[in-house]
Amino acid sequence: MNAVVVALGKIGLPLAVHIGRAGHSVVGCDIDAAVCEAVNAGREPFPGEPGLAEGLAELVPAGRLRAQADTTEAVTARPELVLAVPPLLVDAAGAADFGAVDAVTGAIGRGLQAGTTVVFETTLPVGTTRERITPRLERESGLRAGDDFWVAFSPERVSSGRVFRDLDTYPKLVGGVDADSEERAVELYRAFITAEVWALGSAEAAELTKLAETTYRSLNIAFANELARYADRAGIDGAAVIEAANSQPFSHIHRPGVAVGGHCIPVYPHLYLQGNPEAELPRVGLAINEAMPAYAVDRLEEALGSSLEGRRVLILGVAYRAGVKETAFSGAFGVRDAVAARGGLPLAADPLFAAAELRAEGFEPWDGAAVDGVIIQADHEAYRALGPDDVPGATALVDGRGTFDATALEAAGVTVRRIGRSR
């Protein structure tokens, strides 16, 4: 099979490598010339994805994977499969920004030839594949979907740092805009996916399934956060409560924490609400989760016993989760803003980010001098067992992730607070 993968980001490039490793030929397309240059040199353009460097080193010299900026030209070569993974973000009001999706759709359409199956993997509001993407492909190509080419949606269900493992683990969900499109897409995925491939009956069903699974997680975390805040007020160990509740098979309460970050869980409930604006639970869940960084700052003020006015507060971890060099919707931004709003001086450190990178993200890098309080925002391995020398001067620390061993700091007289764990 010849395949084209459009948008070589942290999902698209590993997907291209996965296809190539299954024995197929792949052209990857990206508007960033530096990304294409790195791929064609056999180098990973971003760190942190196990197996990616080895895959590039294997496929590029063998001629089974190459990259270029011109998507239209790549699609003109009549590949059997075109997979598109352009970013879809939301604005401050939660509305979808289709700029990148529309641009990629147009570029594919202008080169589209009869016999190609086009599949979008970017998470989309329900109806987007049928009502927005397919008509644009038809207008740009002059061809007819379902007769000359085929269109389907298949949500990516992988996470940065474990893409290859996830591709081989979770069922691949596929929904077409018609029966032939779905059948062809399922057959093509089975040529490089070892996990089960499920046909869902329509593009809309596949779109909604992805929104359902991510919105569920948002709601679950929101309930965990509400439990944690109540446990703090009542003087109860909320972590013990959640563990006990989960000891029978009908309860699967997630873990509370300082923030819900990343490209998916903070974003996709907005896309669900765009299609179903009457829904109430997702909106409430978003509000609860978005309030957690400020709540972590509340806990720090409580531990310090006074306001943050004039205090130096160290934020440990600007990444949205452990071990991943990404800041998408990281709770560090909310913590920073809440500290500053209360008159404190927010400082930041992260083992994955250099000082210049922290400044570029809008943080003042910690210079190593004494601080008054600390909030652990990302559960990096380096923060699992801090001692007094690691946070000089600190008299209070808030563990925002529930993974910190407080033994050494508490022995040194530092007050430690955890979200949902008063005792």
User: Residue 418: which CATH number?
Assistant: 3.40.50.720
What's the whole-number mean pLDDT along residues 74-85?
98
Q: Which of 142, 169, 201 is the last residue of a domain?
A: 201
Structure confidence at residue 129 as a pLDDT band (50, 70, 90):
very high
Q: What is the pLDDT of residue 422?
A: 64
Span 105-120, average pLDDT: 98
Same domain, 134 and 271: no
Q: What is the pLDDT of residues 388-404, one digit of tens each?
A: 999 999 999 999 999 88
Average pLDDT over the chain, rounded to an integer: 95
Q: In terms of domains, do 210 and 175 share one?
A: no
Question: 262 falls in which pLDDT band (50, 70, 90)?
Answer: confident
Q: Are residues 293 and 376 in the same domain?
A: yes
Question: Rounded mean pLDDT of 24-43?
Answer: 97
- Rounded to the nearest angstrom, the gap between the alpha carbon of residue 355 and the centroid of all alpha carbons in its chain is 24
Does 79 lie in the same domain as 60?
A: yes
Surface-to-core class of residue 278, CB atoms within 10 Å of its CB (0-12 exposed, 13-18 middle, 19+ buried): exposed
Contact 150, 118 (CB under 8 A): yes
For residues 249 and 354, state if they share a domain: yes
> For the residues 178-206, what does the mean pLDDT come to?
98
How far is 97 from 117, CA to CA, in rounded Å?
Answer: 25
Rounded-to-integer distance, Cα 203 and Cα 146, Å: 13
Task: Decide which of 163, 179, 201 is a domain's last residue.
Answer: 201
Grade residue 179 by pLDDT with cuts at 50, 70 and 90.
Answer: very high
Q: Give the CA distances from residue 157 to residues 123, 169, 211, 264, in Å, rounded to whole numbers and listed in that order.
A: 9, 10, 11, 10
Q: Cβ-count burial of 406 within 10 angstroms (0-12 exposed, 13-18 middle, 19+ buried)?
A: middle
With 70 as the cut, is the pLDDT of residue 54 above it? yes
pLDDT digits (tens, 9 = 90+) for 297-339: 999 999 999 999 999 999 999 999 998 898 989 999 999 999 9
pLDDT at position 414: 95
pLDDT band of 144, cuts 50, 70, 90 = very high
pLDDT for the residue numbered 172 = 97
Of the chain, the percentage scoring pLDDT greater than 70 comes to 99
Q: Determine the Cα–Cα distance for residues 147 and 180; give it in Å rounded to an integer.
A: 9
Distance CA 255, CA 419 (A): 10
Return the closest-CA partner of residue 392 out of 375, 411, 372: 372
Reading the block at residue 208, the tokens are 């909604």
Task: Indicate the pLDDT class of residue 116, thresholds 50, 70 and 90.
Answer: very high
User: What's the distance, CA 179 to chain centroid?
Assistant: 31
Measured distance CA(229)–CA(330) in Å, rounded: 20
Reported as a pLDDT band with limits 50, 70 and 90, residue 147 is very high
pLDDT of residue 263: 84
Indicate if the pLDDT at residue 148 is higher than 60: yes
Average pLDDT over residues 173-201: 98
The answer to whether 85 and 5 have CB atoms below 8 angstroms apart is: yes
pLDDT for 47 equals 85
Q: Model confidence at 231, in pLDDT bands (50, 70, 90)?
A: very high
Does residue 252 share a domain with residue 130?
Answer: no
Which of 166, 201, 236 terminates a domain? The answer is: 201
| CA-closest candidate to residue 197, choices 209, 207, 189 | 189
Domain residue limits at 195: 2-201
Residue-level pLDDT at 86: 95
Residues 157 and 244 in one domain: no
Looking at the structure, do residues 187 and 211 belong to the same domain, yes or no? Answer: no
| pLDDT beyond 80 at 93 | no
- pLDDT bucket at 48, cuts 50 / 70 / 90: confident
Pair 189, 216 in one domain: no
Q: 260-274, 277-291, 353-367: which range is least confident on average?
A: 260-274
Collect all residues with Cβ–Cβ distance below 8 Å to 1 and sequence separation of at least 6: 19, 24, 25, 79, 80, 81, 188, 191, 192
The answer for residues whose C-beta is within 8 angstroms of residue 411's C-beta and 6 or more apart is: none
3-state secondary structure of 237: strand
124 and 229 in one domain?
Answer: no
Identify the three-state secondary structure at position 2: strand
Q: Which two tokens stand for residue 34?
A: 């530096």
Give the total number of structural domains in the chain. Answer: 2
**Phi then psi for 31, rounded to 5 degrees?**
-75, -10
Percent over 90 (pLDDT), the chain: 93
For residues 138 and 239, state if they share a domain.
Answer: no
Q: State the pLDDT confidence band at 95, using cuts at 50, 70 and 90.
A: confident
pLDDT at 423: 55
| Same-domain check for residues 174 and 216 | no
pLDDT at residue 215 tops 70: yes
**Residue 161 banded pLDDT, cuts 50, 70, 90:** confident
